[in-house]
């Protein structure tokens, strides 16, 4: 029984070590500020992309992080004026409002802690 258990444990360890890695999940929509459709990105696409172009058209895609620059994105999507955000966490490209709200909360947190400390 001990030999069989050791063999199973060895197979489990090998399976974990040989795992191909985690594939990123991103929102994938066009022309919508808020996007609810998700997809698992192919292994060569290691970033989520959110693009806002004129006139208020939003693109949500899986993207290659090395290609996250204005010139490449502009040429690939055929857009002249755009703002973009690349990120490498699951579902990090939902919408611009959520992204901004998170960073504003991080900026506001130290001020709230300082105010709380002064009141005590």
pLDDT digits (tens, 9 = 90+) for 81-101: 999 999 999 999 987 654 444
Structural domain including 49 reads 20-119
Count of domains observed in the chain: 1
Residue 67's nearest CA partner among 56, 55, 76 is 76
The answer to whether 71 and 80 have CB atoms below 8 angstroms apart is no
Residue at 75 is within a domain: yes
- Residue 1 is assigned to a structural domain of this protein: no
Residue 110 lies in a domain: yes
pTM higher than the cut 0.75: no
Domain annotation covers residue 28: yes
- Predicted pLDDT at 120: 64
**pLDDT tens digits, residue range 61-80?**
999 999 999 999 999 999 98
Secondary structure of residue 98 in the 3-state scheme: helix
CATH number at residue 33: 2.10.60.10
pLDDT-derived band at 39, boundaries 50, 70, 90 = very high
* pLDDT at residue 22 in the model: 77
In angstroms, what is the C-alpha Rg of the chain?
Answer: 21
3-state class (DSSP) for residue 43 = coil
| Between 105 and 94, residue with greater pLDDT | 94
Q: Is residue 39 part of a domain?
A: yes
């Amino acid at each position: 029984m001990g030999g069989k258990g050791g063999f199973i444990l060895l197979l489990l360890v090998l399976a974990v070590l040989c795992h191909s890695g985690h594939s990123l999940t991103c929102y994938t929509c066009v022309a919508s500020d808020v996007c609810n459709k998700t997809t698992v990105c192919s292994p060569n696409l290691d970033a989520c992309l959110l693009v806002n172009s004129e006139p208020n058209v939003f693109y949500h895609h899986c993207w290659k992080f090395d290609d996250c620059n204005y010139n490449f994105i502009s040429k690939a999507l055929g857009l002249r004026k755009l703002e973009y955000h690349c990120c490498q966490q699951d579902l990090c490209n939902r919408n611009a409002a959520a992204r901004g709200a998170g960073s504003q909360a991080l900026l506001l947190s130290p001020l709230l802690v300082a105010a709380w400390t002064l009141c005590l």
